[in-house]
Structure 1
Amino acid sequence: MKRFNKKTIVIAVAAVLVLAGIVFAVSSGKSDAKKKDETGPKPALAVTTVQPSQASLPIYMTANGTVTAWQEAIIGSESNGLQLTEVRVNVGDVVKRGQVLATFSIASVRADVAQARASLMEAEANAADAKNNAERARTLETTGALSTQQINQYLTTEQTAKAKAEAAKAVLAVQEVRLSQTQVLASDDGVISARNATVGAVVSAGTELFRLIRQGRLEWRAEVISSELGQLKTGTSALITAANGTQVKGKVRMIAPTVDAQNRMALVYVDLAPVAPNTAPVRAGMFATGQFELGNSNAVTVPQQTIVIRDGFSYVFRMNADSRVSQLKVQPGRRLADRIEIISGVPTDAVLVANGAGFLNDGDLVKVVTEAPPAAANPEPKAATPPVDAAPATKATK
């Protein structure tokens, strides 16, 4: 009887324990479900928000073209049949007006100059003698000692000798010019862009020896569509970007008076800012892209991180009242530093997701937080303080 009572007690205790476990599990499940119902779905991401703002942005017109020399001067030989004995400059050298670039052999020219000078001295001596004879003939004209024919002969000889002296003087001047032409001089300040002169060559008159970029000035010849020419005028500023990535400023000097009938494009000549020739980032012959500055206009802008590129289109995420986001397709425009113009697609009073937009999808639930300030470089240790209540969730941007 005692054994039966013990067995019954053990079974009863086990049954009580099982029943208590079932009751606990059921109550725990109800408690978790209730807690889940109270908290609701969890946000997908913590984000910051921003509103579009008004800004004054520059208006640009883009064009392509080629960098060329403002003017090129051809420096040739004026001497005929002389040998080049020295070439003093090379391509890329900076020269001044009147600087000697090359020299020819001058031995034969000096001999011709000496001969012409001697001929002039002889002609002047004959002219002086003829003048004296003519003066004596004039004094004897009233005495009858000389006939009229003899007197006229002396006067004619005087004029002839004087003319020969002038001719000899002209010959000497020609030979002196030839002597000066044995030195090839720079016709203007500038940079040597081509050289054909070779020491030892015998060249004829008119042979091109050097090419010179006058004053080292370069210009950008932009091709502009005829319908856009009305937006440009003389003095308009431009920013030119060369093929090597360097940038240089310029101003419109002239707009071509005609438009190409083939492609309906007109040339716009833009003077580039002068730079040192040896360090010039832009050189003649380079292809370059430029932007003409046409003024400013007001625009709606947002931070760059607000815009998300997907499938080749631009989108932003707008915050709704239920803390969910809506994906909006927008048309971006001009860029200024880290802000981008929004041409269409967003109301000016919309609240947009800034940081974290790239990780969202349409309809996601998000949590709005304020952006944490940057930490100090060497923060001093201090006692922990309780967090301060956050300011409004929307991050202001002016």
Structure 2
Amino acid sequence: MVKKLPYLVLFLGLAACHKTEKKAPPEVLRPAVQEDGRVIVMPNDTMAADFRTIPASASSLVADLEAPAQVAATVIPSRENPSQNLVLFNDAELASHYTQLVQHKINIRTLEISLARAKDLATNGAGTGRDVLEAQTQLENEKISLIEHEAQLEMGGFPADLLLKAKAQTAWVVCEVPENQLTRVKKGQVCKLRFTAYPNEEFTGILQAVNEIADRQTRMIKLRILVQNGGGRLKAGMFATVRFGVAEGNFLSVPQTAIVTIQGQDYLFVRTKPRTFERRQVTTGQQTGQSIVIFSGIRSGDEVVTENAMQLKGISFGF
């Protein structure tokens, strides 16, 4: 037993050493994020290969921009006053503003005559300066009231002069388009309409105006379209679909999967080196099939990430 003791001690010592040895944890590979998330560098080629790219290229695209629409107003002859056509609105509030606008116009003409008479009487000693002042005050108050209704109609997309000079047997159709599509339409452009009431017919309209105000919540902008309404077939409130023939021309385009959106801004990622990806803010245009037109932010030949772009979005923006 004594002779075997050294071997036993040696065995126990080796066992103890073996137990105390610990394996180092595997290295965690993480992308390097630079320039406040604008540049992402992958640690190796394997991780970089997960983000496939295609070169941005120019192509000739043609597409239709469609939007739901509604007949906002129609114009019919007035039986009582042939010199002033009637405008029938679908919106009761706009109808009220228009009615009061017309009434204020009539009142102003009457008060202008009264003011001229008061001045003439005062000049000839048959009236007083107070009569002139009162007539002037009434006229100014009427003009102020008129401006209020003009402003409300303008915000609704119908300038006062347009309504007062409206021709009978016409109709106005209103639709909305996203603000990022606004560059694809322009005043005077011809468009096609199909109404729910007449599904087998196609009407032609002219884009008469683009509203000056975008909706704060939806970021949509109203368009006003003039349509001929012979026979009075179109009625205020009717629903329609309006289609703008949009010839995109020779523009850069990328697959829809390349675009990521943060707080209303569009971005995509470009591979600038084998392991390096750069975030670019872009201005997008019309979507045609699975492609989206890019107006600015990239150049032809840039290697755009089309697969797993959402992962780069999370790395770049920190979520």
TM-score, length-scaled by structure 2: 0.42
Q: Which has the larger radius of gyration?
A: 1
